[in-house]
Amino acid sequence: MNRRRFFQIALATPLITPLFLASKNRPNDIDLYLVSNEPQLSLPSLLNELSKSNKTIGKKFSFVRPHPSEEKIKKRLSSKGWNCVPPSEKDHWNFSFHSFVHKISPSFTLVQNGRIRDIRDQNLFLLWKDMNQSQKPSTWLTIASLKKRQRSISKGDTVIVYKDGEKIDRLSLDNDGSRYYNAREGRITINLKGGKAWISESPCRHNICLMSPSISQSGERIICAPNHFFIEIEGPRFIDTVIG
Amino acid sequence: MFKSAKNEIHRLFSEIENRFSPDSEDYSSPIVIKLFQRGLKIYYDSNGCFDVTVSPLTIAWGFFNTSYRVPKPQEIKALLKTVGMEKIKIQEGKLSLSPGMKLDWGGIAKGYGIDLASQSLIALGIQKGFVNAGGDLFCWGENPENQPWKIGIKHPRKSGFLGVISISNLGAATTGDYQRFFILNGERHHHVFDPRTGFPAKGKQSVTVVGPETLVCDALSTALFVSKYPDSILQKYPEYGAFIVNSEGKTSRIGKGFVFQPIEQN
């Protein structure tokens, strides 16, 4: 399969696009996108080849997402002299895994500084050709990132106001100002400024909502439990909900 | 189905609120006795670091009515005589408290409610979802992208998140020194007391526990926050893992592993 076509399909996966866009801002990052239901067959050779041009990075890797072949990958890489390290350690390959709805031909593509890197001048082309011809169509995508691939939590654009379990208002974070709501025990005031929202007035006893820091990122919330009232930031998001 | 689910959630949490609110002194209902017994096990397993009898301390430090103050050591010493779950007996189907004792279910009732609510929703046929009540949750099935649920953990000191955990069919709960606190003479005094000393526990900013039951996550997050030896507590709960932020902001993980992706802090 054409490498650019492969990448178009990979980009169609909602989770991948932000990682690709984020790579543009990370010099010296390399991301390896590998389509294969048996990544353990190709990863050692691929990573060995890529590591030749990054001699400061040792033969270390970690998993940031579960993978059905995690143990096979660990075993295979360990037999080639690689070490599995905790994700918190610096300077190693981070593996994450996603799945496609449809099967596609095994392949891999390298992205560096947000650009697809030409592999024709390296041994990688032979590996790619061999993979494409010898392995079955696959639904799993392995992403191996050289720098820590932080999930970019996005800034939200709207504050959703909930009272008694019902959505009662939407406020744009682009507009500064204050809004007042009648809650069970009295008035609650929401302030908006500089793309952030917070509660500045509440009749509740413990004022936990007043003590909460301002929120601005998708999924963040401030809750006033006694008044069955909360506000939540809505926007493009890479988390489903928040605890803490 | 949605209406049934909503009504059931409302019913369950109303009951939890009635039975376990600070003003409630219901010591005979089966649900209260059951939660006490669950809490008692964790009390013993944590060497007293989790304890539902800390209410006199909560009141003395002003957290009950926001009249914040730092009690004198003699006052705290006297109050400690009313603290300790082992002092409570179950007699004639009722909890029997000594004079001066008062219960604070804050470290366990929310998790219990979340577990009950989740079980009800699953029984109603809801195959995927999460119940998030005030920052503790249980999630089951997969998210709309057919992946494990991605849960952001609040940063204890800044806006935003420490990181994201990817979990499914698990509960998660956080205890932190930023959730309820006051600052007096430049010192932060928070609401998570060490039941053995009567003072706010030191050494940590937040503890997040992940595991099969949110009730246990809730109580353990308090116990691990208080304890100087969280590893030894968690060894008794092999199905649970924890993410700890110490008082200097340094992070560590103990117990059962779960997928965690840190967020770069600016």
ipTM: 0.90
Q: What three-state secondary structure class fits B75? A: helix
Sign of the four-CA dihedral A12, A16, A18, A19: negative
Q: What is the pLDDT of residues B95-106, one digit of tens each?
A: 999 999 999 998
Measure the CA angle with vertex B60, ends B58 and B61; round to 5°: 70
Name which of B165, B169, B261 to mutate to probe chain A: the one with the most chain A Cβ atoms within 10 A of its Cβ: B261
Q: Are B137 and A241 in contact (CB under 8 A)?
A: yes
pLDDT digits (tens, 9 = 90+) for B213-228: 999 999 999 999 999 9
Asked if B152 and A65 come within 8 Å (Cβ–Cβ), the reply is no
**Which residue in B has a C-alpha nearest to residue A196's C-alpha?**
B159
Q: Give the pLDDT score at A28.
A: 57
Provide the 8-state DSSP code for B177: T
In angstroms, rounded to a whole number, what is the distance separating the alpha carbons of residues B127 and B141? 6
Range 33-62 of B in CB contact (< 8 A) with A? none
Q: Give the closest-approach CA distance of A189 to chain B in angstroms.
A: 19
Yes or no, beta carbons of A238 and B181 under 8 Å apart: no
| Chain B nearest-CA residue for A225 | B134
Nearest CA in chain B to A239: B150
> Which among B169, B266, B144 is positioned nearest to A217, based on CA atoms?
B266
Would the CB atoms of B151 and A240 count as touching at under 8 Å? yes
CA-only gyration radius of chain A, Å:
23
User: Is the Cβ of B264 closer than 8 Å to some Cβ of chain A?
Assistant: yes
- Contact by Cβ (8 Å): B44, B165: no
Confidence tier at B193 by pLDDT (50, 70, 90) = very high
B185 touches chain A (CB under 8 A): no
pLDDT of residue A137: 87
Q: Give B185: exposed, middle or buried? Use CB within 10 Å, 0-12, 13-18, 19+.
A: exposed
Q: Which phi and psi angles does A28 have, rounded to 5°? A: 70, 5
Q: What's the token pair of residue B91?
A: 């007699």
Give the best residue of B151, B218, B244 to mutate against chain A (max A CB count within 10 A): B151
Q: Is the pLDDT of residue B123 over 50?
A: yes
Mean pLDDT, rounded, of chain B: 91
- Number of C-alpha atoms within 13 angstroms, CB side, residue B87? 17
Greatest alpha-carbon pair distance for chain B in Å reads: 58
The first and second tokens of residue A103, run together, are 């099967």
Residue A108's DSSP bridge partners are: A34
- Read off the pLDDT of residues B15-69 as tens digits, 9 standing for 90 and up: 887 778 777 777 888 889 999 999 999 999 999 999 999 999 999 999 988 889 9
pLDDT of residue B142: 92
Please give the DSSP secondary-structure letter assigned to residue A150. Answer: -
**Two tokens at B56?**
């006199």
Contact B205/B245 with Cβ under 8 angstroms? yes
Q: How many residues does chain B have?
A: 266
Residue A163 neighbours by CB under 8 Å, 6+ apart: A181, A183, A227, A228, A229
Q: Which residues of chain A have pLDDT under 70?
A: 1-29, 53-57, 64-66, 68, 87-90, 99-101, 112-116, 118-122, 147-154, 236-238
Chain B interface includes A14 (CB < 8 A)? yes
Percent of chain A topping pLDDT 90? 19
Q: Identify each DSSP E strand in A64-219 by its residue range.
A: 83-84, 93-104, 107-112, 115-116, 138-145, 158-163, 166-172, 177-183, 186-193, 196-201
Q: How many CA atoms lie within 13 A of A9 on its CB side?
A: 24
One-letter amino acid for residue B53 of the chain = T
